[in-house]
Amino acid sequence: MSKTKKANKDINLNDSQYYLNRELSWLEFNRRVLHEALDRRTPLLERLKFTAIFSSNLDEFFMVRVAILKEQVEAQLSQQTIDGLTPQQQLEAIYQCLHPMVIEQHRYFEQVLRPEMASHGIHLLNYIDLSPEQRSYLQQIFQKKIFPVLTPLAVDPSHPFPLMANLSLNLAVVVKAPNTGEEKFARVKVPNILPRFIALPQELQLQNGKLNHWTGVAIEQIIAHNLEALFPGMIIKEYHLFRLTRDADLEVAEDEADDLLLAIQQELRKRHFGGSVVRLEIQPSMPFSVRQMLITEMDLAESDIYEIDGLLNLKDLISFIKLPLPELKDPTWKPVIPPRLRHFHQPSKIANIDGQENNIFSVIQQKDLLVHHPYESFSCSVELFIAQAARDPHVLAIKMTLYRTTGDSELIGSLITAAESGKQVAVIVELKARFDEENNITWANKLEKSGVHVIYGLVGLKTHTKIVLVVRQEGENMRRYVHIGTGNYNAKTANLYTDVGLLSCREDLGADLTDLFNYLTGYSCQESYRKLFVSPVNMRDRIIALIHREIAHCKNGNRGHIIAKMNSLVDAQIIAALYEASQAGVKIDLIVRGICCLRPGIPEVSENIRVISIIGRFLEHSRIFYFNNNEQNEVYIGSADWMPRNLDRRVEAVTPIEDAEIVQNLQNILAIMLEDNQQAWELQSDGSYIQRRPHQDEPELSSQNILMDKTQQLSNNQLFSKL
């Protein structure tokens, strides 16, 4: 031990060699998403879904992360990230890493997925392969439904290069005047208000005498083969597809905005057309002259060009998941009603709740309740909690935060019902929830019109915490009920993302949330909380203190163990503390779905740290933190990842779990995930990931499948067993 300590004195834990690049780590995460599309163990339509998710993820990556790096380069900033790379070096590394990935994605779709679709009766055809009858039908569709919404835009001295929308799919068309032979250029936008894939009627779907499940073509091919209607009298010489991506990150000077809502609405108008182009996707057949014109007009470098051999914008493949072919999808999972709430059935069936014994509040009074989505029903737990609070005559006030939700959800309806019945309802709406700003403005206005007090967060901070506070009159006393969760109050994503939430009426948590809401809605300089870790107030310090406590236990000859599950691990201070813990002998297991800037397995630095990432049918979104604390087993849950943005620029809350049974359940959930050998990937010290595989004669263990099975079998007050 003394030899190790002596060696550690010479190690600078802030050295860039001990950190992975954030952007390249994210690309490795998206590589794991792509693997789900390539993995033959994944059902066919699910593979199409993951292909679409990979593309959708890349769109956002370019619109935000690449755009920021390009701005830094243009501003001649050379500041290095914790891993030692400048903005220009990061852009070059992204290009080198991403190009082979995109090529692999499209090659696999064209050579494997598309033929496999056809073998199952799903035919995405090329227009040139259609029969005369099929072409005739699509020509009628073109004339009736597509042609009227198309607008060809010429480019010449009297027609400047058109402004093109973000993520738009376009046709670059070269036409020739028959009388002069002069060639001209025009652009035709593929309308996104129409379906991307146009199906043929059943009578035209026969292939080799067999009726198919679906047969059709991409809409851009229909347009391309009917261009004569757009340019009558001209000769169509050639056409080429291209797609562009713009900088879409909003820039709002909040401290200068008199009206934050108005400022964001104005910025949203700029998003589609105002940002600079950061990526251009083209097909290899595009001639040099057309390519150079696009590069020049959009002010691009060669490294911004991505050649796509095949169908552009594979994000739209997500539409095929709607086909009624259950044999080509994951088995249907119906979330289980939490055992202690089964007698309530559905929120829509809430009957008489005037009595003290016939409501969710009486259940919470008995003991804290943990809900685990999507294994357990969101609608029959969290939405039930809000719905009963809205209708309960004893409830006086409801306060909650909303980061991402849907305007047509039962939750929004419950808040409106509560306000219209005279309850005090306050909702903190985060207008800056990226790419949900427009949606949030719509339902925030709806809430405001119904009498809900809507607050648009704090200047300079995003309100990302997931909390609800319900104040209820019970006899002569007031009791506060809380929900503190890891995921958004969104019924749709609650069926897709794994999240946990705590329902409690503990007085200390109620007091803490009261203080936190006062901080969010009024003027408060609250710097300490009874139980909660709150960003940007004290969270980083509290987390590092817990890590140092494990170090102290190890130095005193006891066992130290940390298990932390989150979306991303980026914060340099926390990573350095974890390195210190590893050096002291603390065993550290990290379950990090996405970005991880920590390098595990480095001798004398991180050899006691193991990092896995789990990618499966559900998006791992829950944040759960376990500390052994000399066998006292402390567990925390909350909304914050260990990233500078979560700890410094967002309002976040993490709560301790104090019910011993819930602590044990969460420990067992973590243990199940750590033993996953089907969907888990293990991070190597060089930043690459290796997918776990079962050893010979060892069963294949998917943590998500195991948790579905365990949840289905769960009876009242029964603990999860580890395996």
| Cα gap 424→454, rounded to integer Å | 11
| Cα gap 586→610, rounded to integer Å | 11
| Cα gap 359→356, rounded to integer Å | 7
In the 8-state DSSP scheme, what is residue 16? Answer: G
160: how many CB neighbours lie within 10 A of its CB? 11
Q: Which of 471, 514, 503, 469 is nearest to 360 (CA)?
A: 503
Q: Respond yes or no on whether the N-terminal peptide bond of residue 324 is cis (omega within 30° of 0).
A: no
Cα torsion through 429, 431, 435, 439, rounded to 10: 60
Using left for φ > 0, alpha for ψ between -120 and 50, and beta otherwise, residue 313 falls in left
Cβ(340)–Cβ(461) below 8 Å: no
Paired residues of 548 in beta bridges: none
C-alpha distances in Å from residue 150, one per residue of 227, 233, 273: 10, 18, 18
In the 8-state DSSP scheme, what is residue 595? Answer: -
C-alpha distances in Å from residue 289, one per residue of 4, 97, 139, 157, 170: 63, 28, 31, 17, 17
Q: Which of 611, 569, 559, 603 is nearest to 583 (CA)?
A: 603
Residue 343 is among the residues annotated as catalytic for this protein: no
Q: DSSP letters of 80-128? A: --TTS--HHHHHHHHHHHHHHHHHHHHHHIIIIIHHHHHHTTEEEE-GG
| Cα gap 471→510, rounded to integer Å | 9
CA 716 to chain centre: 33
Helix residue ranges per DSSP H, 572-702: 572-583, 644-648, 660-674
Residue 99 in tokens: 């190009």
Helix residue ranges per DSSP H, 392-486: 410-420, 437-449
| Cα gap 474→357, rounded to integer Å | 12
Q: Of 106, 240, 373, 464, which one is the catalytic site residue?
A: 464
- Which residues belong to the active site? 464
